[in-house]
Amino acid sequence: MTKEFSFDIVIVGAGPAGSSAAYSAAKNGAKVAILEKENAVAQTVRTSGVTWIDAIKEFNIPNDCYNPIKNYAFCSPNNTVKISNKEPMAAVLDVRKTYRWLADEAQKQGVQLFLDTTVTDTIKDSDGKILGVKAITGKEEVRFNSKIVIDASGFQSVVAKSLGLVSQWKRFGAGAEYEVTAENVDSETWWLMVGQKYSPAGYAWIFPLGKNIVRIGVGVGKPESNVDPTERLKEIMEKRLGPIEPLGKITPIEFHYGLIPNDGLSRKTVYDRLILVGDSAGQANPLVLEGIRYAIRFGRIAGEIAAQAVARNDTSEKALAPYEEIWKKAIFAKINSASKVQSRWIGLSDDEWDKELDIIKELSVEEFLDFIKAEFGLASIIKLATHHPKIAVRQLFNMVKSATRKS
């Protein structure tokens, strides 16, 4: 006999989007379950964990969950730029610790977390509207009935795919990374490495986690390149290219691999009784392929709106629509503009990357980080294009300004 549970809201995935949605929904009075396929939250790490200090403060992430970054170094085959600030403005998260903290915060609000629980199908009514999900917990079949389902299953978009609402992302980033101990670590400085020897359609990185631990990785855009990021990562580590050499002796701790959507904000994210959030919704910054801050921020909004809909006994698409309106207003134009810049970057030769770093050198740390963060407010773009004397800088930001206006 199949075991059966009933909840107001069932959330698939205990990553930052799922745990944040669960926290917010439960805080607003809903009975909530999170279904996580792994045996522990963040058992597998799939992201390098880059985020920003303003997001850290917004979400009250504990100090022991991240390493603050003050210096931002960029290197191409024949050029290097380092931009510094007195106060840290970026951070590298301890991903496992952060995700578990988010899940713990949700459980403190009364959320039930089901581990080792793999969603196998959806439960639908005669009109095809979702009524919950079927899952395997251990070896046991379980039905999770719910008034609303939130698909926070990440890149795979398990629920939305099962309903036939979405297909696989056409463009995405594939990232491979080793977390290692190293002899010589500058814990306040990250490195982004660009050019053909690092990644033909992406970048490589060194992100310090604190003390003598760093993450060395390679991200490759698909389908723009058929390079295997894992093989390229091994190659640049064996050759100790660029800023890897000064790290001294390197001892691997664990390997991370992940996929992140890079199709822009192309998906519909609200249906009757269903919300998509985080990577399932494509909420990712294409410039550095990071989306944790979006996952937390919009996960909380999704949870709140879902709980309000349950309380009103109206779980229709119209009742859930404010979620999509809010996140689109917040980032839609910015991400579209960032995609324009990324498309330009993907086509750069090594010589052009050398010149691009000369453009980056002209920026203040605030301007540089707003750019990398895809914070393309029209006023700031016009200001940058006006104030920077180099024509290349003006051309770059005029392009972004144009993209922002069209979005």
pLDDT, tens only, 25-82: 999 999 999 999 999 999 999 999 999 999 999 999 999 999 999 999 999 999 999 9
Name which of 196, 215, 236, 207 is nearest 348 in CA terms.
Answer: 196
Retrieve residue 239's tokens.
Answer: 């050759």
Rama region for 258: left / alpha / beta (φ>0; ψ in -120 to 50; rest):
beta
| % residues pLDDT > 90 (the chain) | 78
For residue 250, the surrounding DSSP H or E stretch is strand 250-261
8 A C-beta contact, residue 340 and residue 400: yes
Reply yes or no: is the peptide bond before residue 208 cis, omega within 30 of 0. Answer: no
What residues pair up with 90 in beta bridges, in sequence order?
52, 69
**What pLDDT does 46 receive?**
94
Q: Strands 274-276, 270-271: parallel, antiparallel or unpaired by DSSP?
A: antiparallel
Work out the pLDDT band at 392, boundaries 50, 70, 90. very low
pLDDT in tens, 190-214: 999 999 999 999 999 999 999 899 9
- Cβ atoms of 172 and 54 within 8 Å: the answer is no
Token digits for 213? 């631990």
- According to DSSP, residue 125 is labeled -
Percentage of residues in the chain having pLDDT higher than 70: 92
Asked whether the CA dihedral 221, 222, 223, 226 is positive or negative, the reply is positive
Helices 391-406, 378-387: inter-axial angle, 10-degree rounding: 160
DSSP H or E segment with residue 256? strand 250-261
Q: Is 86 helix (H, G, I), strand (E, B) or coil?
A: coil
Confidence of residue 383 (pLDDT cuts 50, 70, 90): low
**In a 3-state reduction of DSSP, which class is residue 109?**
coil
Tens digits of residue pLDDT in 16-36: 999 999 999 999 999 999 999
Q: What are 314's two structure tokens?
A: 């109206």
pLDDT band for 396, please (50, 70, 90 cuts): low
Encode pLDDT of 125-174 as tens digits: 998 889 999 999 988 999 999 999 999 999 999 999 999 999 999 999 99
Q: Which residues on neighbouring strands pair with residue 180, listed in sequence order?
A: 214, 252
Q: Read off the pLDDT band of 376 (50, 70, 90).
A: low
- pLDDT band at 391; cut points 50, 70, 90: very low
Residues 268, 151: contact at Cβ < 8 Å? Answer: no
How much is the pLDDT for 373? 86
pTM for this structure? 0.93
Query: What pLDDT, on the 0 to 100 scale, is given for residue 358?
Result: 85
Per-residue model confidence as pLDDT tens digits over 307-319: 999 999 999 999 9
Per-residue pLDDT at 402 exceeds 60: no
Whose structure tokens read 């100790």? 240
Q: Do 160 and 205 touch, CB atoms closer than 8 A?
A: no
Q: Give dist(CA 313, CA 163) in Å, integer.
A: 23
> What's the CA dihedral at 8, 13, 17, 22 to 10 degrees?
30
Burial environment of residue 389 by CB neighbours within 10 A (0 to 12, 13 to 18, 19 or more): exposed
pLDDT at 131: 97
Question: What is the secondary structure of 13-33 as a DSSP string?
Answer: --SHHHHHHHHHHHHTT--EE
Tell me if residue 377 falls in helix, strand or coil: coil
Alpha-carbon span 238 to 291, nearest angstrom = 30
DSSP string for residues in 86-102: SS--EEEE-HHHHHHHH
| Structure tokens, 246 | 């000064």
